[in-house]
Amino acid sequence: MSKILSAEEALHRAAALCSTAERCSYDLREKLANWGISHTDTEKIIRRLSDEKFLDDNRFCTAFARDKFRFSGWGRVKIAYALRQKRLPDSSIDEALSSIDEDTYRETLQRLLRDKERTLKDEDNYTRYAKLFRFATSRGFEPVSYTHLRAHETRSNL
């Protein structure tokens, strides 16, 4: 059986956790609940970590959006969905999504579609387009973005 943590020990462990990587308040609440910390103590710990700048949901949203876009190739829809699952404020999510550069966003989408198109074996243009559409949607890109993009791009240019 594991040892029950006091509120002070939980605060120190949570501060250490937050100092190694960006965390959001939702994830930290879950972690503290798993450690057996009461709701009252959890809120005190969250407030103190926020005051001491160990924890910042806006900073987390921006870092999460930037990393998921840059390293995982996620689109805005998928990023927003993941952030909403963490029960973060819409204003923070909107701010994080707006920090993604539009030109880089389109270049990333073009690169992903170009790479995916190379792997497709279908000769029928409709089938190829449908597969590319589903692929981009699964990556979280808005339908308007790549529909508009495909309408103005030639196949060799994509």
> How far is residue 106's CA from residue 102's CA, in Å, rounded to a whole number?
6
What's the pLDDT tens digit per position in 6-39?
A: 899 999 999 999 999 999 999 999 999 999 999 9
What's the pLDDT tens digit per position in 138-148?
A: 999 998 645 45
Question: Percent helix, strand, coil in the chain (nearest 5)?
Answer: 70, 0, 30
In the prediction, which pLDDT does 144 show?
A: 60
138: helix, strand or coil: helix
Residue 10's contacts (CB-CB under 8 Å, 6 or more residues apart) are: 32, 35, 37, 41, 45
* Nearest one of 44, 34, 39, 35 to 10, comparing CA atoms: 35
In the prediction, which pLDDT does 95 show?
A: 97
Higher-pLDDT residue of 42, 5: 42
Tell me the whole-structure pTM to 2 decimals: 0.85
Per-residue 3-state assignment (H helix, E strand, C coil) for 39-87: HHHHHHHHHHHHHCCCCCHHHHHHHHHHHHHHHHCCCHHHHHHHHHHCC
In the prediction, which pLDDT does 2 show?
A: 60
What's the pLDDT tens digit per position in 70-119?
A: 999 999 999 999 999 999 999 999 999 999 999 999 999 999 999 999 99
* Section 113-137 average pLDDT: 91
In the prediction, which pLDDT does 150 show?
A: 53
Residue 145's contacts (CB-CB under 8 Å, 6 or more residues apart) are: 75, 105, 106, 109, 136
pLDDT at position 156 over 50? no
